[in-house]
Structure 1
Amino acid sequence: MKHIWLLPLVVAAGMGLSVEAGLLGPLGEEVGHGWAVLGIFALGSLLLTFGLIFGRPRLALMFAQPRWLLTGGILGPIYVAALTLATPVVGVGLTMVGILFGQVAASLVIDHFGWLGSAKRAVDGHRVGALIAILLALWLIH
């Protein structure tokens, strides 16, 4: 596995998502869920804009790509809204394990069929076992 150095990065990113869920729940309760989502995306957009101003602009290149690649921008706010709504009700742990189950299930399908430009990676018993283990964790944490 030549890219093993990426594993700590993705684990840290996952930890960051749990922290984000923990922050968004109370923020949504205080200011309203829609305002919390907007606030998070406004701050993220501000930081990205700052980075783009000092980086080499590639906006024309982005819009030259197939339009379906840009639909990922729709999924981010849906994800953040789900975190904002679910976390105060079911807690950070259950929210994150539920999201993890959904991510892994969708990822296995995408990899198996090679959708979205991904290389085909067959779903085997180990991968299905991992998904079942996450489902068991979801049931146990509930």
Structure 2
Amino acid sequence: MFAILLAIGIGAIFAGQTAINAQLRKFVISPLLASMISFAVGVIFLTITLLSSGSSLGIPIDLFLNQPIYIWLGGIGGAIAITTNILLFPKLGSVQTAILPILGMTLMSMLIDHYGWFNSIQYSFGWNRIFGLLLVLLGVFLATAIRSKKNDQISLLTNKENMLKQWIWRIVGILAGMLLAIQIAINGQLGKVLHSASHAALVSFFVGTITLIIIVGLMDRSYTNIKEPFKHSAPWWIWIGGILGGSYVLINVFLVNQIGNGQTVVLVLFGQITGSLLVEQFGLFNSIKNRMEPLQIIGLMVMIAGVFLIRIF
């Protein structure tokens, strides 16, 4: 029971990471800089956690020479996905920012499983997986369609333009989820190579941080906005997005060993969607408040059922 509650709880807590990072972006302006800060905090948190457990941070040099280059680059996908979520949050709200990447993750993870990409174990498509995918698609439609319908107060032309932009952002959200699925598969292999999921998580966060430091230098050409939250007395919690991300990775590792991968995925996603509902319903972390409709809640439950079919059977 403790493991089940922990899985749901960490999923719900992780749903707040995007809302927190979105608020951080308001102070530092750049979504890239906000992502960089989140990843850097995650690196510090994971480093302290590993050192506290008595583990070494070192990696044998021969592993860099003997392993394929992609195995070290999972953090790049994570950096892009987190930055995308920061961009999506003010455009689509908490719930859609949570469920659209889940759709992308589901689609890509099915392809990875089917073809055995990244040296993963092959699981061919079965009727249960196909039916589960259809349920996920139906759930996403129910959860997002009603929100689109509520934009009818504006002129027809403006409404069409807004709807087009919304669907572009939704597609971006799905692609971000696909990148996350690739990152998970790569990090899974890295964990096997390093014989430590915690070390794999630290490598992923470190690579993501370096990637974002370089991109911020090239695109924003300045890191000075890091001090803006201090100048404007920002709430303390805007700095903890990286801690939530690091905790999410570590607790997932613990849960997989306790209750298995399939149950962990389903329970954590259930918690994540529940958390996103609470964020949007009550406007937590200074986000925009949107009252949930019954049809949206039904859609989310249908989506969870679809993920259950895909991951458990």
TM-score (norm 2): 0.40
1:68, CA displacement in angstroms?
1.0
1:83, CA displacement in angstroms?
5.5
Name the counterpart of 1:16: 179
Name the counterpart of 2:197: 33
Number of aligned residues: 139
Q: Which has the higher contact order (CA 8 A, sep 6+)?
A: 2
Name the counterpart of 1:137: 306
1:103, CA displacement in angstroms?
2.3
**Cα gap change, 1:101/1:134 in structure 2, threshold over 3 Å: closer, same or farther?**
farther
Letter paired with 2:169: L
In the TM superposition, 1:30-109 aligns within 5 A as 30-31=193-194, 32-54=196-218, 55-57=221-223, 58-64=225-231, 65-82=234-251, 86=256, 90=261, 98-109=267-278
Matches of 1:24 and 1:82, distance apart in 2 = 15
Is the radius of gyration larger for structure 1 or structure 2? 2
Matches of 2:279 and 2:289, distance apart in 1 = 8
Deviations 1:5-39 (A, max 9, x none): 21111100011111111111121122111110110
Runs (5+) with no aligned partner, structure 2: 1-147, 149-161
Give the alignment partner of residue 6 of structure 1, picking from 161, 169, 181: 169
Give the share of equivalent positions with the same residue, in percent.
27
Partner SS, residue 120 of structure 1: coil
Letter paired with 1:67: W
Matches of 2:267 and 2:307, distance apart in 1 = 6
Which region of structure 1 is more displaced relative to structure 2, 51-60 or 124-133? 51-60
**Cα gap change, 1:110/1:126 in structure 2, threshold over 3 Å: closer, same or farther?**
same
1:96, CA displacement in angstroms?
5.3
Matches of 1:97 and 1:7, distance apart in 2 = 22
Matches of 2:252 and 2:204, distance apart in 1 = 12
Letter paired with 1:56: S
1:72, CA displacement in angstroms?
1.0
Q: Is the 8 A contact 1:37 1:80 kept in 2?
A: yes
Q: Is the 8 A contact 2:269 2:304 kept in 1?
A: no
Runs (5+) with no aligned partner, structure 1: none
1:116, CA displacement in angstroms?
1.0
Query: Is 2:121 aligned against 1:121?
Result: no
